[in-house]
C-alpha cells in the first residue's frame, strides 16, 4: 500500500497553486526526509507551470504550520558522517531556495507554530502572512539543540529582516509573535486565522501585478550592505551578550553569530554553502547529543500519562487549597491563571488576605506591563474564593493541602475534611518530606490520596513530583498528572520514600560539599567547581538560598533513612544554632552586608565571613588540596550512585524521569543531557573506576549491583530505557 501523502496540491483559483501540509498520523507537521522528497516532487511538477501567478503553503493542522525538522531522524543519523550530514543540509536548502526562483510569487500562510525547519521553509518564500492568533509563533530554536538552522536560515533571514535582527532571532532561539514579525518585515501582513487563505490569495494577485517580489529576489541574493566598523561593533556587542548568557557552555549561538557576520558579506548562495559546512561541525557533537536528549526527555514527559497503562481520569475544574503561605499561594495562583475555580483557606486570616492579593497579582501578571493587569485581575477574582468555612470545599474535585510541615496537623485536617469531599475527589499533600503512606493512615479513601509536591517558587519551577503511596490508585495518579500538566507544569511520578526523587539526589550532593569543606577545600573552590560543571549556583551558596535550617531538617530525614551513606554533619547544626540560617536571616555560610548589592536587583550577594571560616577550620578533619576535577567527582558521583539505588528500588519508572527531574528540579545543566546521560557518556566502567578511588570515604561511593551489572555488560543507564545515550 502506498504511504499516505503529507502534501495536498489544489488550485483555489486557476492560476494559483496551494500546497496544504498535513503529515499523516502526527499531531504537528514535521519535515522528515520523506516529506522533503514529496515536496521536491511537487515543486518540480509546479515549476513547469509557467502560467502560475503564485504558490501558497498552508497547514492542514490546527496545531500550527510546521514544528520543524524530524528530530528523531537527526538522532538516528549522528554517525552518518560529515559528507552525508552536509548533503541532507544542502539538499533541503537547495529545494527551499527554489521557492525564491519559482515562476510565480511564493507565500507561506502561517497560523500557529512555525519554527525550525518550518521557519526555513517559510523564510525562503517570497512573502509570509501570519495569523493574529496568540498561538502563532515564528522562530529558530535550533541553538537550544546545540545547532543552528541548516537549511539556509542563517543566510536568507538576515537579508530579509536585517543582520542585527536575524542575529537576535537565531542566536536566542526564542520565537516571536505576529506583531513583532510584522514590525521586522518578516510578515507582509497579519490577519485573523479565518481570513488567512483569502489574504494569501489576495497577496498573490497584488504581487503578480506590482512584481515587487522580483525586486526583492534580486536584493536578497546579494551581500548585505554594512561597513566594516558596523560589522565589528555588532559582532563584539552580540558576542559579549551571548557569552554572558551561555557562560561558554553552549557553543551554537556563538558559532551562529560568527557565521552570520562572516557570510553577510557573501552572496546568499555562498553564504548558504558556508552554513552547510559549519552546520556539519556542530552536528553530532556531545553537546548537540545532550541537548537533543533533553528535547526527548521533555517530549516524553509531555506524553507520559504517569502510569503504565490506561486509566480513567477525573477532570479537575474546581481546586481547593489549604494553607495560603508561600506554597499554597503559588499553587492557587497557578490554578487561577489556568482558569480553574480555586477555593482557598488559612487558619491565619491575615495570611489569607495577603495570599489572596498575591495570587491575583501573580495570576494577572502581564509581561508587557511588567506588572498585574487590573482588568484581568478583576476577571480572575471571580475564580478565587477565599473562605474560612470548610463546607465551601464540598464541591472541589481536588484538594491540595499546603499547611505547616507537621504530620499531626496535616492528619487532623484530613480527618475533618475528607468526609466533606465528594467520594471521587482527590486529596493531596504538598509535603516536602513526610511519608505519603504515613499521612494516608486513617483515611477512609487512601486510594484517592497522593503527594503533589511543588517546588519553590511555584511560579518559576516547572517540576512537580506526584508521589504515589502504596494504596494510591492508578486513576488518582493519572488524574494528578493530568492536573499538573493542565496548570502548565511538568509532573514526574515517584513512589513514596524519603526525599522522594529530587531531594534524595540533591541531599547527597549538598552533604558532600560540607564533607569537602571539612577536608580542606574552600567555599570558593567548591562553588566554582560546581558552577564550572554547569550548575546555576554552587552548593554552598545553595545552602544559603534554601535556608540552613530547612536543609538541616531535610538532611536529618536522609540521615535517619540512609545512615550508611549520610552522616549528620556538626557544621550545619552549629551554624543553625548560631542563628545563621542563610539569606533570610542575613547570614549563613556567607555574610550579607546591607550595602553589598549584587548585579541588578540582586541585593543578596554574600561575602566570605571570617567567623564561618574559623568555624570550619575548627571542625576540619584534614587540610588537603582538591583539584577541580576531584571536587566535581566528589559532588556528582554520590548522586549517580543514589540514582542507581532509586532505579533499583523502582522509585521511578524510567531512567529519563531521573534526568528530567534534576534538570527541572535543581537546574542540572541541560548541556550535559541529564545526570545519568552524563554518567553514560563517561562510560559506566569509568564511573566505577572513579568510585573505587573514593570508596574508602564510605558507602556513598560504593557501586550498586545495577552499576556493576551495567559496567560488566558495557551498557549504560539509557540502554535500560530502550534509548541509547551514545
Ligand atoms: P508557610 O508557613 O508559608 O504556609 C503554611 C500556611 O498554612 C500558613 O499560612 C499557616 O497559617 C497555614 N496553616 C497552618 N495550619 C493550617 C490549617 N490547619 N489549616 C489551614 N491553614 C493552616 O509554609 P510553606 O512554605 O508554604 O509550606 C507549606 C507546605 O509545603 C509544607 O508541608 C512544606 O513542607 C511544603 N513545601 C514547602 C516548600 C518551600 O520551599 N517552602 C517547598 C515544597 C514543599
pLDDT tens digits along 572-616: 999 999 999 999 899 999 999 877 655 444 457 899 999 999 999
C-alpha cell at 236: 563584539
User: Whose C-alpha lies nearest to ligand 1, atom 20?
Assistant: 346
Burial bucket for residue 116 (CB in 10 Å: 0-12, 13-18, 19+)? buried
- Pocket mutation for ligand 1, best pick of 320, 321, 324, 325 (most atoms within 8 Å of C-beta): 325
Tell me which residue of 616, 615, 622 sits closest to 696, measured CA to CA: 622
Distances (CA, A) of 180 to 137, 241, 357: 10, 21, 33
The sign of the dihedral angle between the CA atoms of 353, 356, 359, 362 is: negative
Distances (CA, A) of 641 to 319, 334, 447, 635, 702: 38, 35, 32, 11, 7
Tell me which residue of 256, 224, 263, 228 sits closest to 242, measured CA to CA: 256
- Identify the segments of the chain with pLDDT beneath 70: 1-3, 596-603, 722-726
Q: Using CA atoms, how far apart are residues 129 and 408, in angstroms rounded to an integer?
A: 61
Tell me which residue of 490, 419, 494, 393 sits closest to 451, measured CA to CA: 494
Report the SS3 class of residue 219: helix
* Residues designated as active site: 453
Q: Using CA atoms, how far apart are residues 661 and 304, in angstroms rounded to an integer?
A: 14
Amino acid 435: pLDDT? 96
Query: Is the CB of 329 inside a 6 Å radius of any atom of ligand 1?
Result: no
Q: Using CA atoms, how far apart are residues 519 and 251, in angstroms rounded to an integer?
A: 35
Q: Using CA atoms, how far apart are residues 446 and 440, in angstroms rounded to an integer?
A: 6
pTM confidence score: 0.93
CB–CB of 426/481 below 8 Å?
Answer: no
End-to-end CA distance of the chain: 35
Amino acid 597: pLDDT? 54
Distances (CA, A) of 70 to 284, 324, 356: 15, 45, 45
CB–CB of 319/297 below 8 Å?
Answer: no
Q: pLDDT tens, 418-475?
A: 999 999 999 999 999 999 999 999 999 999 999 999 999 999 999 999 999 999 999 9
H/E element holding 481? helix 474-486
Amino acid 601: pLDDT? 43
Q: Say which DSSP state 368 is in.
A: T
Amino acid 604: pLDDT? 72
Query: Is the CB of 390 inside a 6 Å radius of any atom of ligand 1?
Result: no
DSSP string, 223-255: PP---HHHHHHHHHHHHHHHHHHHTTS-HHHHH
Q: Using CA atoms, how far apart are residues 349 and 355, in angstroms rounded to an integer?
A: 10
Tell me which residue of 597, 578, 518, 506 sits closest to 543, measured CA to CA: 506
Centre of ligand 1 from the C-alpha of residue 352, in Å: 12
Query: Is the CB of 412 inside a 6 Å radius of any atom of ligand 1?
Result: no
Query: Is the CB of 503 inside a 6 Å radius of any atom of ligand 1?
Result: no
Centre of ligand 1 from the C-alpha of residue 322, in Å: 9
Query: Is the CB of 399 inside a 6 Å radius of any atom of ligand 1?
Result: no
Contacting residues for 722 by C-beta, under 8 A, at least 6 apart = none
User: Whose C-alpha lies nearest to ligand 1, atom 40?
Assistant: 456
Centre of ligand 1 from the C-alpha of residue 230, in Å: 55
- HSE-up of residue 459 (Cα within 13 Å, Cβ side): 13
Q: Using CA atoms, how far apart are residues 626 and 635, in angstroms rounded to an integer?
A: 12
Amino acid 310: pLDDT? 81
Centre of ligand 1 from the C-alpha of residue 325, in Å: 5
How many C-beta neighbours within 10 Å does residue 83 have? 8
Nearest atom within ligand 1 for CA of residue 456: 40
Amino acid at each position: 500500500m502506498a504511504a499516505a501523502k503529507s502534501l495536498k496540491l489544489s488550485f483555489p483559483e486557476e492560476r494559483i497553486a496551494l500546497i496544504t501540509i498535513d503529515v499523516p498520523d502526527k499531531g504537528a507537521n514535521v519535515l522528515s526526509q520523506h516529506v522533503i522528497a514529496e515536496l521536491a516532487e511537487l515543486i518540480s511538477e509546479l515549476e513547469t507551470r509557467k502560467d502560475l501567478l503564485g504558490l501558497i503553503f498552508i497547514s492542514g493542522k490546527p496545531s500550527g504550520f510546521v514544528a520543524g525538522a524530524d528530530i528523531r531522524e537527526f538522532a538516528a543519523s549522528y554517525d552518518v558522517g560529515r559528507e552525508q550530514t552536509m548533503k541532507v543540509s544542502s539538499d533541503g536548502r537547495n529545494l527551499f531556495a527554489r521557492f525564491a526562483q519559482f515562476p510565480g510569487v511564493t507565500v507561506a500562510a502561517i497560523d500557529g507554530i512555525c519554527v525550525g525547519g518550518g521557519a526555513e521553509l517559510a523564510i525562503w518564500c517570497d512573502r509570509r502572512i501570519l495569523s493574529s492568533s496568540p498561538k502563532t509563533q515564528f522562530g529558530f530554536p535550533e541553538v537550544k539543540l546545540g545547532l543552528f538552522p541548516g537549511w539556509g536560515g542563517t543566510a536568507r533571514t538576515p537579508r530579509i529582516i536585517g543582520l542585527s535582527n536575524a542575529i537576535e532571532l537565531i542566536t536566542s532561539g526564542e520565537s516571536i509573535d505576529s506583531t513583532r514579525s510584522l514590525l521586522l518585515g518578516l510578515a507582509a501582513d497579519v490577519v485573523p486565522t479565518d481570513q488567512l487563505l483569502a489574504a494569501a490569495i489576495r497577496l498573490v494577485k497584488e504581487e503578480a501585478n506590482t512584481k515587487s517580489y522580483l525586486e526583492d529576489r534580486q536584493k536578497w541574493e546579494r551581500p548585505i550592505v554594512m561597513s566594516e566598523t558596523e560589522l565589528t561593533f555588532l559582532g563584539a556587542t552580540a558576542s559579549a551578550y551571548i557569552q554572558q548568557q551561555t557562560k561558554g557552555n553552549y557553543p551554537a549561538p556563538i558559532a551562529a553569530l560568527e557565521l552570520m557576520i562572516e557570510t553577510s558579506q557573501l552572496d546568499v548562495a555562498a553564504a548558504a554553502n558556508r552554513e552547510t559546512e559549519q552546520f556539519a561541525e556542530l552536528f553530532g557533537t556531545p553537546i548537540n547529543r545532550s541537548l537533543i536528549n533533553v528535547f526527548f526527555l521533555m517530549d516524553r514527559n509531555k506524553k507520559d500519562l504517569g502510569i503504565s497503562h490506561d486509566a480513567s481520569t477525573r477532570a479537575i475544574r474546581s481546586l481547593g487549597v489549604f494553607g495560603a503561605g508561600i506554597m499554597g499561594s503559588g499553587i492557587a495562583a497557578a490554578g487561577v491563571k489556568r482558569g480553574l475555580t480555586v477555593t482557598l483557606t488559612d487558619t491565619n486570616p491575615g495570611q489569607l488576605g495577603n495570599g489572596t492579593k498575591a495570587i491575583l497579582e501573580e495570576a494577572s501578571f502581564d509581561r508587557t506591563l511588567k506588572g498585574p493587569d487590573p482588568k484581568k485581575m478583576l476577571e480572575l477574582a471571580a475564580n478565587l474564593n477565599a473562605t474560612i468555612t470548610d463546607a465551601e470545599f464540598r464541591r472541589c474535585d481536588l484538594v491540595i493541602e499546603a499547611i505547616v510541615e507537621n504530620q499531626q496537623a496535616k492528619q487532623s485536617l484530613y480527618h475533618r475534611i475528607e468526609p466533606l469531599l465528594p467520594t471521587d475527589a482527590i486529596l493531596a499533600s504538598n509535603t516536602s518530606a513526610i511519608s505519603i503512606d504515613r499521612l494516608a493512615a486513617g483515611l477512609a479513601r487512601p486510594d484517592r490520596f497522593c503527594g503533589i509536591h511543588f517546588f519553590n517558587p511555584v511560579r518559576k519551577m516547572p517540576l512537580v513530583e506526584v508521589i504515589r503511596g502504596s494504596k494510591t490508585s492508578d486513576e488518582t495518579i493519572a488524574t494528578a498528572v493530568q492536573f499538573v500538566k493542565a496548570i502548565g507544569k511538568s509532573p514526574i511520578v515517584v513512589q513514596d520514600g524519603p526525599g522522594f526523587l529530587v531531594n534524595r539526589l540533591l541531599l547527597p550532593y549538598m552533604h558532600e560539599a560540607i564533607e569537602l569543606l571539612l577536608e580542606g577545600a574552600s567555599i570558593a573552590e567548591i562553588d566554582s567547581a560546581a558552577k564550572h560543571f554547569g550548575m546555576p549556583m554552587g552548593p554552598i551558596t545553595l545552602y544559603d538560598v534554601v535556608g540552613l535550617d530547612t536543609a538541616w531538617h531535610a538532611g536529618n530525614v536522609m540521615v535517619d533513612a540512609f545512615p550508611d551513606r549520610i552522616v549528620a554533619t556538626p557544621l550545619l547544626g552549629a551554624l543553625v544554632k548560631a542563628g545563621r540560617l542563610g539569606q533570610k536571616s542575613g547570614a549563613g555560610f556567607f555574610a550579607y552586608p546591607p550595602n553589598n548589592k549584587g548585579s541588578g536587583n540582586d541585593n543578596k550577594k554574600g561575602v566570605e565571613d571570617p567567623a564561618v571560616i574559623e568555624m570550619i577550620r575548627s571542625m576540619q578533619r584534614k587540610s588537603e588540596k582538591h583539584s577541580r576535577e576531584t571536587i566535581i567527582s566528589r559532588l556528582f558521583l554520590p548522586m549517580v550512585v543514589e540514582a542507581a539505588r532509586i532505579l533499583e528500588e523502582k522509585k521511578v519508572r524510567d531512567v529519563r524521569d531521573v534526568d528530567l527531574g534534576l534538570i527541572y528540579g535543581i537546574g542540572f545543566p541541560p548541556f550535559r543531557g541529564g545526570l545519568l546521560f552524563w554518567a553514560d557518556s563517561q562510560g559506566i566502567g569509568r564511573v566505577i573506576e572513579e568510585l573505587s578511588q573514593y570508596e574508602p570515604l564510605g558507602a556513598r561511593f560504593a557501586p550498586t549491583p545495577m552499576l556493576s551489572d551495567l559496567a560488566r555488560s558495557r551498557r549504560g543507564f539509557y540502554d535500560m530505557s530502550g534509548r541509547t545515550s551514545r
